Protein backbone atom coordinates (compact mmCIF):
# COMPACT_ATOMS: atom_id res chain seq x y z
CA UNK A 1 0.00 0.00 0.00
CA UNK A 2 1.42 3.37 -1.01
CA UNK A 3 1.61 6.34 1.33
CA UNK A 4 -1.04 8.10 -0.78
CA UNK A 5 -3.42 5.19 -0.31
CA UNK A 6 -2.75 5.19 3.45
CA UNK A 7 -3.56 8.90 3.61
CA UNK A 8 -6.78 8.37 1.65
CA UNK A 9 -7.83 5.60 4.03
CA UNK A 10 -7.11 7.80 7.07
CA UNK A 11 -9.31 10.54 5.61
CA UNK A 12 -12.21 8.07 5.34
CA UNK A 13 -11.89 6.71 8.89
CA UNK A 14 -14.43 9.09 10.37
CA UNK A 15 -16.95 9.03 7.55
CA UNK A 16 -20.24 7.23 7.30
CA UNK A 17 -22.21 6.31 4.18
CA UNK A 18 -25.99 6.76 4.32
CA UNK A 19 -28.06 5.24 1.50
CA UNK A 20 -31.54 6.69 1.00
CA UNK A 21 -34.33 4.72 -0.70
CA UNK A 22 -34.96 7.69 -3.03
CA UNK A 23 -31.61 6.99 -4.76
CA UNK A 24 -29.22 9.32 -2.95
CA UNK A 25 -26.02 8.18 -1.25
CA UNK A 26 -24.65 10.67 1.27
CA UNK A 27 -21.36 10.79 3.15
CA UNK A 28 -21.03 12.50 6.53
CA UNK A 29 -18.09 13.22 8.81
CA UNK A 30 -18.91 11.47 12.08
CA UNK A 31 -16.87 13.86 14.25
CA UNK A 32 -18.18 17.15 12.86
CA UNK A 33 -21.59 15.74 11.80
CA UNK A 34 -21.24 17.70 8.56
CA UNK A 35 -22.18 16.42 5.09
CA UNK A 36 -19.20 15.74 2.82
CA UNK A 37 -20.74 14.77 -0.51
CA UNK A 38 -23.66 13.01 -2.12
CA UNK A 39 -24.09 10.70 -5.09
CA UNK A 40 -27.18 10.32 -7.24
CA UNK A 41 -28.23 6.92 -8.58
CA UNK A 42 -30.90 8.54 -10.79
CA UNK A 43 -33.22 5.60 -10.04
CA UNK A 44 -35.24 4.18 -7.18
CA UNK A 45 -35.51 2.26 -4.95
CA UNK A 46 -31.96 2.20 -3.64
CA UNK A 47 -31.69 -1.20 -1.96
CA UNK A 48 -28.05 -1.34 -0.86
CA UNK A 49 -24.80 0.63 -1.07
CA UNK A 50 -21.23 0.17 0.10
CA UNK A 51 -17.74 1.47 -0.60
CA UNK A 52 -14.53 -0.43 -1.26
CA UNK A 53 -12.26 -0.69 1.79
CA UNK A 54 -9.13 -0.80 -0.37
CA UNK A 55 -10.19 2.19 -2.49
CA UNK A 56 -12.84 4.28 -0.70
CA UNK A 57 -13.28 6.47 -3.79
CA UNK A 58 -15.21 3.57 -5.36
CA UNK A 59 -18.84 3.07 -4.33
CA UNK A 60 -21.34 0.46 -5.54
CA UNK A 61 -25.10 0.27 -5.13
CA UNK A 62 -28.06 -1.91 -6.05
CA UNK A 63 -30.95 0.20 -7.34
CA UNK A 64 -34.09 -1.73 -8.24
CA UNK A 65 -32.81 -4.50 -10.51
CA UNK A 66 -29.68 -2.55 -11.53
CA UNK A 67 -26.15 -2.47 -10.19
CA UNK A 68 -24.33 0.86 -10.40
CA UNK A 69 -20.77 1.85 -9.62
CA UNK A 70 -19.27 5.24 -8.85
CA UNK A 71 -15.71 6.56 -9.02
CA UNK A 72 -16.04 9.62 -6.80
CA UNK A 73 -12.69 11.00 -7.94
CA UNK A 74 -14.25 11.62 -11.38
CA UNK A 75 -17.94 12.33 -10.98
CA UNK A 76 -20.94 12.30 -8.65
CA UNK A 77 -22.89 10.23 -11.21
CA UNK A 78 -22.67 6.49 -11.76
CA UNK A 79 -20.09 5.51 -14.37
CA UNK A 80 -21.40 1.97 -14.79
CA UNK A 81 -24.97 0.68 -14.76
CA UNK A 82 -25.81 -2.96 -15.35
CA UNK A 83 -28.98 -5.02 -15.07
CA UNK A 84 -28.38 -7.28 -12.11
CA UNK A 85 -31.53 -9.41 -12.29
CA UNK A 86 -32.57 -9.72 -15.93
CA UNK A 87 -36.34 -10.07 -16.40
CA UNK A 88 -36.87 -10.06 -12.65
CA UNK A 89 -35.18 -13.44 -12.18
CA UNK A 90 -32.73 -13.95 -9.32
* Helix (H) or strand (E) run with residue 48 in it: strand 46-51
80 pLDDT more than 80: no
Q: Domain limits of the chain?
A: 3-88
18 touches 43 (CB < 8 A): no
pTM above 0.85, yes or no: no
3-state secondary structure of 32: coil
3-state secondary structure of 10: helix
Query: Which band of pLDDT confidence, cut at 50, 70 and 90, is reported for residue 90?
Result: very low
CATH topology of domain 3-88: Thrombin, subunit H (2.40.10)
46 touches 63 (CB < 8 A): yes
Residues with Cβ within 8 Å of residue 84, at least 6 apart in sequence = 62, 65, 66, 67
Residues with Cβ within 8 Å of residue 74, at least 6 apart in sequence = none
Q: List, for residues 27-74, the tens digit of each pLDDT value.
A: 999 999 999 999 998 889 999 999 887 887 889 999 988 888 888 887
C-alpha–C-alpha distance, residues 80 and 74, integer Å? 12
Amino acid sequence: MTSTMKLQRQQWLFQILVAEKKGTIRFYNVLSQQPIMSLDCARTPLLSADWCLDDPLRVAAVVGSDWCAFDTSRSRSAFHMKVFWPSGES
